Amino acid sequence: MANSVSQDAISTILANPSPDSSSDLPDIIVQVLDLKLTGNRYTFNASDGKMKLRAIFPSNMSSDIMTGSVQNKGLVKILDYTLNDIPNKSEKYLIVTKCEVVSSALETEIKTGEPDIVLKKPKLEHEVKNEANTDLAGIVLKPKQEMVSKSAAQIVHEQRENMAPLARMAMTRRVHPLVSLNPYQGNWTIKVRLTSKGNMRTYKNARGEGCVFNVELTDEDGTQIQATMFNEAARKFYEKFQLGKVYYISRGTLKVANKQFKTVKNDYEMTLNDNSVVEEASDEEAFIPETKFNFVPIDQLGPYVNGRELVDIIGVVQSVTAVSNIKRKIDNENIPKRDMIVADETKKTVVVSLWNELANNVGQELFDLADKSPIVAIKSLKVSDFQGVSLSTLGKSTVMINPDVSEAKKLRSWYDSEGKGSSMANIGMGLSPSRSGARSMYTDRISLSDITSNQSLGDEKPAFFSIKAFVSLIRPEQAMWYCGCKTCNKKVTEAIGSGYWCEGCQKNDEECNLRYIMVSKISDTRGEAWVSAFNEEAEKIVGCSAGELDKLKSELGDIDGYQQKLKEATWIPHLFRVSVTQNEYNNEKRQRITVRAVAPIDFAEESRYLLEDIKKMRGSH
Amino acid sequence: MQDMDISSPAAFVNGGLLRMHVGRKVRTVLQVTRSDIGSVMGRSTDGCQLVAKGSPPVPLTSYVEVIGVAENENTIRAELWTNFGDTFDASNYDKLCQLANGELKHLFL
């Protein structure tokens, strides 16, 4: 039993589109790739290691395939077939009418690398003269002669050096501009440069573990799109994708981009899975695009705290710590981290935390250079409220030491002349460290009338604000909670029999957790609004869990404990962090305010805030 | 006991502002430094040592508010005592006193 493909099997097939039983053809053993069900028949790509041909199995073989006698990456001997043209395309299509299984799934796709001497036109001239090669020529004379009957596209393809295994794609390499891609048409190939590569991240959620990374792709027109890969696909493509190189990609899927997490301007984002095809375009030079910075002065970092927008900064390194290891709570993994203090012309300093690879590689460099006060430029930092204001790197952050940009030169001369000696304060100072949650309640503080009077807030991305308000009404008759899965919190349905069924976890549970989904009215000095709150936040508003409130509701007695509890929740002042979005409802756009965090009032902090506000108002007189 | 002048509101004062209201009703918060029978010594929110005469509550917390008549520039004859607990932001209160006696006096008196 053979365990490999027949040499030039595809060429043989192409040369003999309609063999009859008397033709003296060599064995045609091909590898079955990309086997998939289309309608009620199985299609695949027949490969001989050098070339591929689209093919289809007869419907009477579908059951064999389903039972696994014919497997993807397995070998089949084609006994009878017809080669058809695909209308409007230069491709051919193999209709297998009779075949037998030669081998079950092989480890990998067979690739026989270097093109056969015979198929390279230039060398053919030599062959004719050489005696030894005449033998070869003799054996392969048939296909050589029949080269004439091959389509022009095929000949052009065969002349190419370094024939890629993805012969079919090469022949039909109709490259689509990124801007033309949409989720409804899956038959495309794009040619793009990898302009950004994120780090591989591992995650653990209620359903298990996984790994993911994403990249940014840019085509010739300059259109960009983000592509994400999970698990198998992530592992498969992580090494393959290298920054600056150009790739032909096909068989990705598109979906509408999640505006909150968008990093490039595109309505769609792409996912590549195990079936996607990524091939390096060998005819293109790698070009790592110049990093474009958009620096934010340190004293202007305030508005970005806890927001989703990433910032770039440039500054003079004041100090760098040694590497420390932080245990990640979610999965107990140890992550290297290094902190450094950076200062700029605003005479403010900020702490920048370098994580993972950045802590080790460029972090070490910075550590060694620290006393020379180098200039550092960092792209894509997250701004958090730790100790007031602090910056953290992400997978996609890039760090450049003493970059060749004009801002660096300006900083250098400022620092050497006056910066070095001046006293500088940390941007987070002056805002007292307090319990988390309360800290960020002072950024973007507005009043309810500011939100309700501006109906266009949050139409692109959700807008976040802090509010100080009182809960003024919680309607007792509303459906205040839902039954949530104990593992993943998604809504469960009542199972047949007893218990609850979770569609996401695909399992039954005797019990479920009641989780709040509550609407209430809040009021402040200027206005009022209806807001939604989910479990954690609603618990803080009501003062007990949904389960406990449910118990109160079903208790009998003189005093309606349930109504009482809801009444007691009103007219208590809270600090709310809210998001404002636009919802479409019956073709109308409606403003939706969601509570993202609830914090008690810290009166000293609040007084400080009000005094500042008064000062600002007096200043304007 | 002398009748308390209740016809006008008590002016918010700190150590430095007390002298502006001698003979009138004032209120202030003191950080208790010494407590005797008949009087309490405390630090005002701007750091001056003031005396509050009268009968403080028992027990007395670290911070106490006194409302009474200003006898002189460092003594208040307290009528009303309120425990303000052990944590208090003196700087906020001090700023309030400045606002209440300055530009925004008309909102208070």
Give the chain B residue nearest A615 (alpha carbons).
Answer: B99
Determine contact: B5 vs chain A, CB below 8 A.
no
Determine contact: A607 vs chain B, CB below 8 A.
yes
Give the chain B residue nearest A608 (alpha carbons).
Answer: B92
Contact yes or no for B89 and A611 at CB 8 A? no
Per-residue pLDDT reduced to its tens digit, A20-52: 765 677 888 999 998 888 877 888 999 988 888
Mean pLDDT of B25-37: 94
> Nearest CA of chain B to the CA of A604: how many Å?
6
Q: Higher pLDDT residue, A18 or B2?
A: A18
The pLDDT assigned to A21 comes to 64
Q: Which of B87, B92, B104, B107 to mutate to test the interface with A (most CBs of A within 10 A)?
A: B92
Per-residue pLDDT reduced to its tens digit, A539-581: 999 999 999 999 888 887 766 889 999 999 999 999 999 999 9
The pLDDT assigned to A135 comes to 41
Strand partners, A99: A78
Amino acid in the structure at residue A207? R
Q: Which of A618, A620, A621 to mutate to test the interface with B (most CBs of B within 10 A)?
A: A618
Relative to beta strand B49-53, strand B75-85 is: parallel
Contact yes or no for A604 and B89 at CB 8 A? yes
Contact yes or no for A611 and B103 at CB 8 A? no
- Tell me the pLDDT band of A157, cut-offs 50, 70 and 90: low
Relative to beta strand B63-72, strand B39-43 is: unpaired
Comparing CB atoms, the residue among A604, A608, A614 nearest residue B99 is A614
Mean pLDDT of A304-315: 85
The pLDDT assigned to A310 comes to 85
- Tell me the pLDDT band of A126, cut-offs 50, 70 and 90: very low
By mean pLDDT, which of A74-78, B13-17, B69-73 is the weakest?
A74-78
Mean pLDDT for chain A? 81
> Nearest CA of chain A to the CA of B2: how many Å?
36
Cα(A231)–Cα(A394) distance, integer angstroms: 20
Of A398, A392, A391, A337, give the one whose Cα is nearest residue A364. Answer: A337
Determine contact: A618 vs chain B, CB below 8 A.
yes
* pLDDT over 90 (residue B61): yes
- Tell me the pLDDT band of A1, cut-offs 50, 70 and 90: very low
* Chain A partners within 8 Å of B95 (Cβ): 611
> Nearest CA of chain B to the CA of A608: how many Å?
6
Contact at 8 Å (CB) between A305 and A383? yes
Contact at 8 Å (CB) between A401 and A374? yes
Cα(A189)–Cα(A279) distance, integer angstroms: 10
Q: Higher pLDDT residue, B4 or B24?
A: B24
Contact yes or no for B92 and A611 at CB 8 A? yes
The pLDDT assigned to A148 comes to 47
Mean pLDDT of A365-392: 88
Contact yes or no for A611 and B95 at CB 8 A? yes
Mean pLDDT of A594-605: 90
Determine contact: B95 vs chain A, CB below 8 A.
yes
> Nearest CA of chain B to the CA of A194: how many Å?
55
Token output for A372 = 């020379």
Comparing CB atoms, the residue among A607, A614, A618 nearest residue B89 is A607
Find the helix or strand (DSSP H, E) in which A437 lies: none
The pLDDT assigned to A459 comes to 79
The angle subtended at Cα A379 by Cα A374 and Cα A382, nearest 5°, is 110
| Cα dihedral A257/A261/A263/A269 (nearest 10) | -20
Cα(A305)–Cα(A321) distance, integer angstroms: 23
Provide the percentage of residues in chain A whose pLDDT is more than 70: 84
> Nearest CA of chain B to the CA of A434: how many Å?
14
Amino acid in the structure at residue A546? A
> Nearest CA of chain B to the CA of A613: how many Å?
13
- Tell me the pLDDT band of A262, cut-offs 50, 70 and 90: low
Length of chain A (residues): 621
> Nearest CA of chain A to the CA of B103: how many Å?
9
Give the chain A residue nearest B95 (alpha carbons).
Answer: A611
* pLDDT over 60 (residue A338): yes
Determine contact: A614 vs chain B, CB below 8 A.
yes
Q: Higher pLDDT residue, A520 or A114?
A: A520
Residue numbers of A between 546 and 605 with CB closer than 8 Å to B: 603-604
Cα(A549)–Cα(A555) distance, integer angstroms: 10
Number of CB pairs, chain A paired with chain B, less than 8 A apart: 12
Token output for A18 = 């309609």
Give the chain B residue nearest A602 (alpha carbons).
Answer: B89
- What residues contact A370, with CB distance under 8 A and at least 6 apart? A317, A319, A320, A340
Name the range with the highest mean pLDDT among A61-65, A79-83, A269-273, B102-106. Answer: A269-273
Strand, coil or helix: what is A101? strand
Of A357, A403, A347, A415, give the one whose Cα is nearest residue A378. Answer: A403
Per-residue pLDDT reduced to its tens digit, A203-260: 777 778 888 888 999 888 888 899 999 999 998 998 899 888 899 999 999 998 876 6
Determine contact: B89 vs chain A, CB below 8 A.
yes
Contact yes or no for B103 and A618 at CB 8 A? yes
* pLDDT over 60 (residue A288): yes
* pLDDT over 50 (residue A159): yes
The pLDDT assigned to A331 comes to 65
Give the chain A residue nearest B103 (alpha carbons).
Answer: A618
* Chain A partners within 8 Å of B103 (Cβ): 618
Per-residue pLDDT reduced to its tens digit, A410-441: 999 999 888 887 777 777 654 434 434 444 66
Determine contact: A432 vs chain B, CB below 8 A.
no
Per-residue pLDDT reduced to its tens digit, A448-471: 999 998 888 887 788 888 999 999
Determine contact: A159 vs chain B, CB below 8 A.
no
Give the chain B residue nearest A614 (alpha carbons).
Answer: B99
Comparing CB atoms, the residue among B92, B96, B99 nearest residue A604 is B92
Strand, coil or helix: what is A231? helix
pTM beyond 0.80: no
The pLDDT assigned to A137 comes to 38
- What residues contact A206, with CB distance under 8 A and at least 6 apart? A487, A488, A489, A504, A505
Relative to beta strand A277-280, strand A311-320 is: unpaired
> Nearest CA of chain A to the CA of B87: how many Å?
10
* Chain A partners within 8 Å of B92 (Cβ): 604, 607-608, 611
Determine contact: B99 vs chain A, CB below 8 A.
yes
Dump the DSSP string for A376-429. Answer: EEEEEEEEE-TTSSEEEEEEEEEEEES-SSHHHHHHHHHIIIIITTS--EETTT
